[in-house]
């Protein structure tokens, strides 16, 4: 089974992009890990009184976001929150865990993490490009998780 990583900002747009991609992957199962990074306010001291509410808010936001995905069919999904910036969360996951695919919806992240990506066997999949092809009526071709 192929594995994929998606780091979300918890927005509705990101849920719609991922739901569309998962719908396109209906023929083959893919194990998906979704990470929602969170941080405290800038300048706030790292203390349990500051971290607990931030973590609780992130977990609630991730649960709401995950509900927007609906039923993902054959795909297994694991979700987690991580106290880190989005870039650090991606770096941690890409270097510590094996993923076949990194699902990307932000071109800036793709550019900033190109060096990390070259040190792994992970292939980047550009979600808006897949979505734009379908919206324009063009065939998106074989999606990466469908390849053997």
Report the half-sphere exposure of 47 (CA within 13 A, side-chain side): 5
Q: Is the pLDDT of residue 144 over 70?
A: no
Q: Is the pLDDT of residue 142 over 50?
A: no
pLDDT band at 135 (very low <50, low <70, confident <90, very high): very low
Q: How many other β-carbons are positioned within 10 Å of the β-carbon of residue 135?
A: 11
Look up residue 126 and give its DSSP letter: E
Residue of higher predicted confidence among 38 and 71: 38
Nearest to 7 by CA among 27, 28, 35: 35
CA distance 126 to 117: 14
CA distance 102 to 82: 17
pLDDT of residue 27: 66
pLDDT of residue 25: 74
pLDDT band at 139 (very low <50, low <70, confident <90, very high): very low
């Amino acid at each position: 089974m192929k594995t994929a990583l998606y780091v979300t900002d918890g927005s509705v747009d990101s849920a719609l992009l991922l739901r569309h991609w998962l719908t396109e992957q209906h023929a083959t199962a893919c194990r998906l890990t979704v990470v929602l990074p969170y941080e405290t306010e800038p300048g706030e001291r790292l203390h349990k009184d500051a971290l607990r509410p931030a973590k609780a808010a992130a977990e609630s936001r991730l649960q709401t976001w995950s509900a927007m995905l609906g039923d993902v069919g054959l795909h297994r999904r694991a979700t987690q929150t991580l106290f880190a910036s989005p870039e650090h969360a991606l770096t941690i996951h890409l270097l510590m865990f094996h993923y076949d695919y990194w699902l990307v919806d932000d071109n800036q992240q793709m550019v900033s993490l190109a060096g990390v990506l070259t040190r792994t066997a992970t292939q980047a999949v550009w979600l808006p490009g897949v979505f734009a092809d379908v919206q324009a009526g063009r065939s998106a071709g074989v999606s990466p998780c469908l390849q053997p």
